[in-house]
Amino acid sequence: MKWAFPSMQLEGLRESLGTLATGGKTAAIRYKAYLASLVYDSPSIFTGESGQEYAWDEDLINAIGARAQKALLGNNGDSLRGF
Band of residue 21 on the pLDDT scale cut at 50, 70, 90? very high
Summarize pLDDT for 36-63 with one digit per residue, the tens: 999 888 888 888 887 788 889 899 999 9
Measured between alpha carbons, how far is 32 from 6 in angstroms, rounded to an integer?
A: 20
C-beta separation of 19 from 48 below 8 A: no
